[in-house]
Amino acid sequence: MKLKRLYNITMVCRLLAKFVALLLLTGCQSTNPASIYVDTKVEHQNIVAWGAVSRLWEFDKSANKFNGSWLKNRDAILEKLIVEGGITQLRLEIRSGAENPIDYWPAFHAGKLSYEEFKDHFYEKINDNDDPLHVNQTGFQFSELDYRIENLVLPAMMIAKRHGIRLALNLNYVDFRWTRKQGTLSHANNPDEYAELIATAFAHMKEKYGLVPDELEVILEPDNTADWRGPQIGRAMVATAKRFRSDRVVLPSMIAPSTARASLALRYLDGIATVPGALPLVQTISYHRYDQQLSENTIRKIGERGRSLGKQTAMLEHVEGTADELIEDLTEGNVSSWLLWAIAWNGAKDGYPVIVDEKVVGSPQVRLSTVGRQLALVFRSVRPGDQRIGANASNPNLRSAAFRRANGTLALVVSASHNVGQGLFGRILKKLGPKRHFRLTITGMGNRQYLVRSVDAEGREGSCIAGANDLIGISTGTVMIVIPLPVGTMAPACNEG
Ligand SMILES: [Ca+2]
Ligand SMILES: [Ca+2]
């Protein structure tokens, strides 16, 4: 009882503190201009990829069946995602149930199997035979993988190529514990069997499409699986490296541990490190952002570990991700790659960068959502190979990240956040909290003029020109990018003096 009372008091105090924070947010208007200093002498990570997952709304959960209605708008969606949205990599998933003598995809695709019935077999693993070194081709099913390659990956690569963009590919193994049927084989506890499945999938993709994934994300969200923990991941990586070597196949970059909760990533990495030879195989330390309460400290520690081990880091999934989070991951987590999750939805949906609007029959509108446009400011201006450099903001509500780009020019990303903490209350405050208006000056980028492009919380786009010492305005929820002014650019001056 006493404990409960104490808990209640703590909760009341917390709520009061948040109420005070809200009052402060309401009452305070920033009067003193903030400043952001770009430090070109400080050099950080190189960018590797901005990603999305190769899926649309083929799994129609509400109608409980396959839905191919996105196919007619597919090219417009992919063009929007890659050319306007700035995506440079697709994640292609292979589920553990691909090792199964029965191919359930054709029946689901033909409408003869419901989504729920199909889903039952997602992670139903049945061994092809009792020898991981001898592949029984009839024991592996790649028809769903082929469908995604033919209908999403290859068309996306063609569109990207047409625009001079190289689209990278990440193959990601998935083995969730959510479904009832788990089969009779554990890839987690039989590393050579895992290696056989991955090697067989790679060989299949190479042979049928000439496609070689750039990266292997070893296991998606091991904390959401029955058997995958750090040591299992480590053993699977060592077995895969050995298998690829003996098959004389080039080993892709390996990414792990991709925990759903960022706060578990380093514990899983420690588990991987207990397996001899495993840690050197981890090229990128990855995490997702599905923690109930996620502190900046958690992200910072991942960044620090990456630095101390000389490895890249990556934030590879958060459906509700924002540009503000992206900047936190880039600066605190030092990430080289970042992924929201979805591509598009038939109508507006939180977290989906592309919206397909079919309200006008026969004339579908395909456009970027607000979050899609805010992220695109970063994704299109900062490309793979570009390097993050130093940037410091004098106000903690202004997040910033600066980059030196391939052509030698700089780019500075700024986001104005409520900075009201994490959790449900923080999210509500971020959504409903009153707007604050900041004024800022930028120094360190050189003494010249800049183009300032912005997308505010409501999705309104702005574009103006600022000199090195001019005051620039930014409101909470707005993301902006500051780049050297291309010659001949026409835009109004940023008048905030
Ligand atoms: Ca097998
Ligand atoms: Ca076998």
**How is the chain split into domains, by residue range?**
28-44+387-484, 48-381
**Cα-to-centroid distance, 98 and ligand 1 (Å):** 10
Which residues, given as ranges, of the chain have pLDDT below 50? 1-3, 6, 13, 19-30, 497
Q: Which ligand has the minimum distance to the alpha carbon of residue 131?
A: 2
- Provide the 8-state DSSP code for 489: -
- Strand, coil or helix: 129: coil
**Cα-to-centroid distance, 200 and ligand 2 (Å):** 10
- Strand, coil or helix: 473: strand
Q: What top-level class would CATH report for the domain 48-381?
A: alpha beta
**Cα-to-centroid distance, 192 and ligand 2 (Å):** 9
Q: Would you call the peptide bond into 434 cis, given omega within 30 degrees of 0 as the criterion? A: no
Note the pLDDT of residue 3.
Answer: 45
Where do we find the tokens 């939180």?
350
**Cα-to-centroid distance, 178 and ligand 2 (Å):** 26
Note the pLDDT of residue 86.
Answer: 98
AA letter at 376? A
Q: Which ligand has the minimum distance to the alpha carbon of residue 193?
A: 1
Q: Which of 255, 315, 312, 270 is nearest to 291 (CA)?
A: 315
**Cα-to-centroid distance, 233 and ligand 2 (Å):** 20
**Cα-to-centroid distance, 173 and ligand 1 (Å):** 15
Non-local CB neighbours of 1 within 8 Å, separated by 6+ positions: none
pLDDT in tens, 22-46: 444 444 444 578 999 999 999 999 9
Q: Which of 283, 254, 137 is nearest to 204 (CA)?
A: 137
First to last CA, the chain: 58
**Cα-to-centroid distance, 123 and ligand 1 (Å):** 14
**Cα-to-centroid distance, 240 and ligand 1 (Å):** 13
Non-local CB neighbours of 357 within 8 Å, separated by 6+ positions: 347, 348, 364, 365, 366, 367
**Cα-to-centroid distance, 198 and ligand 2 (Å):** 12
**Cα-to-centroid distance, 99 and ligand 2 (Å):** 10
Note the pLDDT of residue 488.
Answer: 75
Distances 95 to 55, 177, 181, 194 between C-alpha atoms, Å: 14, 12, 13, 11
Query: What is the CATH T-level fold of the domain 28-44+387-484, as seen in this structure?
Result: Immunoglobulin-like (2.60.40)
- Strand, coil or helix: 365: strand
- Strand, coil or helix: 2: helix
Residues less than 5 Å from ion ligand 2, measured at CB: 128-129, 131
Distances 194 to 104, 240, 270 between C-alpha atoms, Å: 21, 7, 21
Q: Which of 333, 366, 365, 339 is nearest to 351 (CA)?
A: 339
**Cα-to-centroid distance, 219 and ligand 2 (Å):** 20
**Cα-to-centroid distance, 129 and ligand 1 (Å):** 6
**Cα-to-centroid distance, 165 and ligand 2 (Å):** 38
**Cα-to-centroid distance, 185 and ligand 2 (Å):** 12
**Cα-to-centroid distance, 197 and ligand 1 (Å):** 7
Note the pLDDT of residue 147.
Answer: 98
Q: Which of 188, 180, 171 is nearest to 123 (CA)?
A: 180
